[in-house]
């Protein structure tokens, strides 16, 4: 639960973060009325209040001025029939306290318990009747409606009241779990920003409505404020809490040209942001929509539970009829009607899936539907892209080897000019290297630039034909590479980019891309979770891929693979009978992600196309989340199967005891509904499963972070 907290404090001056929705004048008046407080100024934009006061007043005293916020509505009961449950409980208590065949001389059916039963169960009676009239088959509501009528006709409304009260309670628990999943994401990502500071002509900062902001605008975000749009930093630096996006609670230091996202909070520093996406287009809105859509997609095991439940309803009626013909005991027949397997199977399964989706979201993993939880639990083969997935995706130029009389500066200048407008990590590394050396890039002809997919780029720069790419590009363009053999020995274990100018080799750029921190531990955890085969697939050359494979002890690797070939490798593994998970982040991974049983995008540099093609989106750069999600999926399926066993065992025992006349219908109803509540509660425990936090980003030693007290 969010609480009022101290944002900043020095002697005589305090800034507080408030969660109240009271009008500004009332808030200010509350604080000004406190002895020793000289002034109180509320900033509705940052939702803080600045107080000047006597130096003897402590922050704790100031926090005590304002009442604590009301509990979060996440756990509030929102079931539409909660009043009916209260009526049922009240009538049940009355009926238990006054167990007589009539009440004040009035017939049994007019007793408070009977009337309350009919009123509270009106929705069940309606749905059960509609199912019989329209679909010509009974459902769970038909069975419950029959049991309620039978209880009332027998003159014992207690059984009907127990059915109504306990079944509604189990539905409420299920709904609370689903709401917790939905509301957790919504509350965590709630924009909460009505106005922003728009930068006018690079000089003036003007307060405007968030609805007046468009892509391309510049906004200023100050310490303690929430960022209101997706964009990139064009001025300043800050430490940003991105836990709402990535699930990582360690603030991230950002500066010029870094991306920031709506819903994240500037913990320290001030920045100017060039807006790229606002409103429903932001990452925040898409995450919320993804979670909501996920809860609408049923897992196969949910459909199995539904079908099994539908088949068991007619069986209950058949057993009740046979039992009546055999025993002529109305009590025993009633036991057949008040005890069923439907509620326990359906509600506990739906609750487990919803809880699992919510728990994963809290860790920065967005599962697009319940069916993928079931598939994740059966994964035995993982294929991982190298660049941006296994590695951090930020290659650096570590060496420039000139050739044929060209200088290092010339090689870099021409290569950077050719790659200047590319978003590929290697291209960005080349341009960044040129910028660090403050080299002036020659002009390139935009009309004569050709991207050769999987190979490199061809361009006309300063009137010269320039090729930048791999050795295959040189072979394709019939460039003489005879003199590269000696140079290849120097850089055989590194990633290399070749540069040719006017049909001559000009030089080679040696690139390095380090393995993502925590990846080796993640590989080991995946093996412990039952992933038998771990394979790396990359477009990089053989020597680079082999070195990574050795470092991580992978089972296999495929190097120099073109984008369209990645999907072929996935198909090949699937055809061999494996359940395949493909992990990538780029546009070139999208076909493979779509072909895999489970497609996963990992990291903050993921592309929109890859996200669309994926079944699981990990918004964090922490690779351990991947193994955590698989562990969660396995625990979810174990929980569901355990719930199946308990539901069938307990209800079968209750049916047997009822059929033998050992227990009365009210006890049978209580046992049945108690079992349902028990398995539903067992499913909710998935929400509170602790994640493995074995990998965290180190805190820069030069920074001190403001940590929330929430």
Place of tokens 């010029």: 256
Q: How far apart are CA 547 and CA 237, in angstroms?
A: 37
The number of beta carbons lying within 10 Å of the beta carbon of residue 409 is 14
Nearest to 364 by CA among 593, 623, 585, 12: 623
Contact indicator for 600, 582 with CB cutoff of 8 Å: yes
Q: How far apart are CA 522 and CA 529, in angstroms?
A: 10
Contact indicator for 51, 40 with CB cutoff of 8 Å: yes
The number of beta carbons lying within 10 Å of the beta carbon of residue 593 is 29
One-character DSSP codes across 402-452: E-TT--HHHHHHHHHHHHTT--SHHHHHHHHHHHHTTPPPPPEEEEEEEEE
Place of tokens 């038909």: 142
β partners of residue 381? 533, 580
Q: How far apart are CA 634 and CA 531, in angstroms?
A: 12
Catalytic (active site) residue 212: no
Pairing outcome for strands 252-254 and 218-221? unpaired
Q: Token pair for residue 512?
A: 């390095």
Q: How far apart are CA 623 and CA 602, in angstroms?
A: 7
One-character DSSP codes across 140-180: HHHHHHHHHHHHHHTT-HHHHHHHHHHHHHHHHHHHHHHHH
Q: Token pair for residue 142?
A: 């038909």
Q: Token pair for residue 174?
A: 């299920």
β partners of residue 14? 9, 51
> Which of 141, 217, 331, 385 is an active site residue?
385
Nearest to 251 by CA among 709, 628, 704, 639: 704
Q: How far apart are CA 245 and CA 283, in angstroms?
A: 8
Q: How far apart are CA 396 and CA 429, in angstroms?
A: 5
Residues across the chain: 710
Pairing outcome for strands 396-402 and 504-512? antiparallel
Catalytic residues: 385
């Amino acid at each position: 639960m969010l609480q009022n907290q101290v944002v900043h404090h020095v002697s005589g001056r305090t800034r507080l973060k408030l969660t109240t929705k009271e009008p500004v004048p009332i808030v200010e008046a509350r604080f000004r009325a406190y002895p020793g407080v000289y002034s109180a100024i509320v900033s509705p934009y940052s939702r803080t209040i600045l107080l000047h006061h006597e130096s003897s007043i402590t922050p704790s005293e100031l926090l005590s001025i304002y009442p604590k916020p009301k509990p979060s509505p996440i756990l509030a009961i929102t079931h539409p029939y909660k009043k009916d449950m209260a009526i049922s409980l009240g009538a049940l208590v009355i009926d238990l306290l006054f167990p007589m065949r009539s009440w004040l001389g009035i017939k049994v059916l007019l007793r408070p318990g009977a009337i309350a039963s009919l009123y509270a169960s009106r929705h069940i009676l309606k749905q059960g009747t509609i199912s019989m009239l329209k679909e010509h088959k009974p459902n769970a509501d038909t069975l419950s409606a029959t049991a309620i009528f039978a209880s009332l006709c027998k003159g014992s409304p207690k059984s009907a009241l127990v059915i109504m009260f306990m079944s509604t309670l189990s539905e409420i628990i299920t709904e609370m779990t689903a709401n917790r999943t939905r509301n957790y994401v919504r509350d965590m990502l709630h924009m909460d920003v009505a106005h922003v500071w728009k930068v006018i002509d690079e000089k003036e900062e003007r307060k405007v409505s968030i609805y007046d902001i468009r892509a391309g605008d510049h906004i200023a975000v100050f310490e303690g404020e929430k960022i209101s749009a997706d964009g990139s930093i064009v001025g300043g630096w800050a430490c940003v809490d991105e836990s709402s996006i990535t699930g990582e609670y360690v603030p991230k230091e950002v500066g010029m040209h870094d991306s920031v996202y709506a819903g994240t909070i500037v913990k320290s520093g001030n920045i100017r942001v060039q807006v790229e996406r606002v409103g429903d287009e932001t990452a925040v809105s898409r995450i919320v929509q993804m979670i909501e859509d996920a809860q609408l997609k049923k897992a196969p095991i949910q459909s199995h539970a539904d079908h099994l439940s539908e088949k068991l309803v007619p069986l209950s009626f058949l057993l009740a009829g046979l039992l009546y013909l055999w025993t002529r005991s109305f009590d025993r027949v009633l036991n057949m009607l008040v005890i069923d397997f439907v509620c326990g199977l359906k509600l506990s399964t739906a609750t487990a899936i919803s809880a699992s989706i919510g728990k994963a979201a809290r860790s920065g993993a967005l599962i697009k539907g319940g069916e993928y939880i079931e598939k994740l639990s059966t994964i035995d083969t993982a294929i991982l892209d190298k660049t941006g997935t296994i590695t951090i995706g930020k290659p650096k130029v570590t060496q420039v080897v000139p050739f044929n009389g060209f200088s290092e500066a010339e090689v870099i200048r021409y290569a950077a000019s050719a790659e200047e407008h590319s978003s590929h990590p290697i291209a960005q590394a080349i341009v960044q290297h040129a910028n660090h050396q403050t080299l002036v890039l020659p002009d390139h002809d935009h009309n004569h630039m050709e991207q050769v997919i999987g190979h490199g780029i061809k361009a006309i720069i300063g009137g010269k034909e320039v090729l930048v790419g791999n050795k295959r590009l040189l072979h394709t363009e019939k460039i003489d590479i005879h003199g590269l053999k000696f140079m290849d020995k120097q850089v055989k274990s590194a990633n290399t980019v070749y540069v040719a100018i006017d049909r001559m080799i000009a030089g080679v750029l040696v690139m390095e891309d380090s393995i993502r921190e925590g990846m080796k531990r993640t590989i080991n955890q995946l093996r412990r979770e039952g992933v038998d085969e771990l394979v790396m697939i990359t477009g990089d050359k053989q020597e680079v891929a082999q070195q990574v494979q050795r470092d991580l002890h992978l089972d296999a690797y495929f190097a120099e693979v073109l984008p369209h070939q990645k999907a072929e490798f996935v198909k090949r593994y699937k055809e061999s009978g494996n359940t395949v998970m493909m992990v990538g982040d780029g546009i070139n991974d999208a076909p493979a992600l779509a072909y895999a049983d489970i497609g996963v995008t990992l990291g903050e540099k993921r592309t929109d196309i890859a996200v669309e093609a994926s079944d699981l989106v990990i918004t964090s750069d922490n690779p351990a989340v991947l193994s955590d999600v698989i562990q969660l999926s396995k625990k979810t399926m174990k929980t569901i199967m355990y719930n199946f066993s308990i539901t069938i065992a307990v209800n079968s025992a209750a049916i047997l005891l009822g059929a033998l006349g050992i227990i009365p219908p009210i006890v049978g109803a209580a046992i049945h509904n108690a079992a349902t509540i028990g398995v539903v509660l067992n499913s909710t425990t998935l929400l509170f499963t602790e994640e493995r936090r074995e990998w965290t980003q180190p805190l820069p030693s030069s920074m001190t972070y403001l940590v929330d007290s929430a």
